[in-house]
């Protein structure tokens, strides 16, 4: 029984950054914007959080720095995809490459330095669960949530009703970046209280896939994230019994399966109709 509880605890720890980033992506895509830059925003958030916490000696300032860094990075994607109406997929990929490259370059001086005052993992985990409930309530039981979903479903109709489509998409995209930054802060302040290049290890991509896997539903994201976390935990626990390469690839193989199944379906769950489509005022 003790081993079961230990496995569940580790699964929740592994799943926490995935859940935080996925919740942000749920909101972004509900507003009709695709952001594939989650991995890059997580890396930037992780570095900013560690640097701020290590410099100030206050890990909570590190959390704030990570959230702000993620939001700032996302604002670049919002400008390119909303204002310039560029291809959202290309913009997101560019953001990932830029975030990973920039964080790796600027973080060289912090490599190998342990964080003096780390935070507890459980605080982040429970915050992620509470945030999933809050986001669900906002999306389905408030006017703000109705506006976000309307903009994602039919931006032209929302515009005709007087809703600020550009502003809503900007806000949702920046919020998603802040959540990715928070996920990165968890990695460098709690889960592995240090900084190393590549510490996000593809978790941002899993968060993007999880968004589709749970059909853009915040509550389902909790169970999906902890399921992926359990896969990670099993990969480490079964090392020595099965090839480690195969075990470590399990979460990513599942991501590929999820995305393939989603692509084969005529309609990807309850995906917003306007998802990934740039909107220009005055067009339909």
Nearest of 102, 100, 82 to residue 91 by alpha carbon: 82
Count of beta carbons in the 10 Å neighbourhood of residue 156 = 15
Does residue 148 contact residue 29 with C-beta atoms inside 8 Å? no
Handedness of CA 260, 256, 240, 223 (dihedral sign): negative
pLDDT digits (tens, 9 = 90+) for 6-23: 667 788 888 999 999 999
Using DSSP's 3-state secondary structure scheme, residue 194 falls into coil
Per-residue pLDDT of the chain (284 residues; tens, 9 = 90+): 666 666 677 888 889 999 999 999 999 999 999 999 999 999 999 999 999 999 999 999 999 999 999 999 999 999 999 999 999 999 999 999 999 999 999 999 999 888 989 999 999 999 999 999 999 999 999 999 999 999 999 999 999 999 999 999 999 999 999 999 999 999 999 999 999 998 998 899 999 989 988 889 999 999 999 888 887 777 666 666 656 566 566 656 766 776 676 665 545 457 888 898 888 876 65
Backbone angles phi, psi at 195, to 5 degrees: -125, 135
Token representation of residue 9: 């605890």
**Residue 53 and residue 115 in contact, taking contact as beta carbons nearer than 8 Å:** yes
pLDDT tens for each residue of 170-182: 999 999 999 999 9
């Amino acid at each position: 029984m003790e081993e079961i509880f230990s496995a569940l605890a580790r699964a929740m720890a592994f799943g926490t950054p995935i859940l935080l980033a996925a919740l942000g992506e749920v909101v972004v895509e509900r507003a009709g914007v695709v952001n594939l830059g989650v991995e890059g925003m997580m890396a930037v958030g992780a570095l900013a959080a560690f640097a701020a916490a290590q410099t100030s000696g206050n890990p909570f300032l590190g959390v704030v720095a990570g959230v702000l860094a993620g939001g700032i990075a996302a604002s670049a994607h919002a400008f390119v995809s909303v204002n310039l109406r560029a291809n959202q997929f290309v913009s997101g990929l560019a953001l990932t490459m830029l975030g990973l490259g920039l964080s790796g370059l600027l973080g060289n001086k912090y490599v190998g330095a342990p964080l003096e005052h780390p935070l507890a993992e459980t605080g982040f985990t429970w915050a992620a669960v509470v945030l999933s409930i809050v986001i669900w309530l906002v999306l389905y039981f408030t006017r703000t949530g109705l506006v976000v979903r309307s903009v994602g479903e039919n931006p032209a109709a929302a515009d005709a009703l007087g809703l600020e489509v550009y502003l809503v998409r900007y806000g949702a995209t920046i919020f998603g970046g802040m959540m990715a930054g928070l996920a990165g802060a968890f990695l460098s302040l709690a889960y592995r209280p240090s900084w190393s290049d590549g510490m996000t290890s593809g978790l941002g991509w899993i968060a993007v896939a999880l968004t589709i896997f749970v059909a853009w539903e915040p509550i389902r994201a909790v169970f999906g994230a902890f399921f992926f976390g359990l896969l990670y935990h099993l990969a480490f626990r079964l090392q020595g019994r099965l090839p480690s390469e195969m075990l470590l690839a399990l979460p990513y193989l599942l991501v590929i399966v999820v995305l393939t199944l989603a692509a084969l379906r005529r309609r990807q769950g309850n995906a917003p109709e306007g998802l990934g489509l740039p909107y220009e005022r005055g067009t339909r």
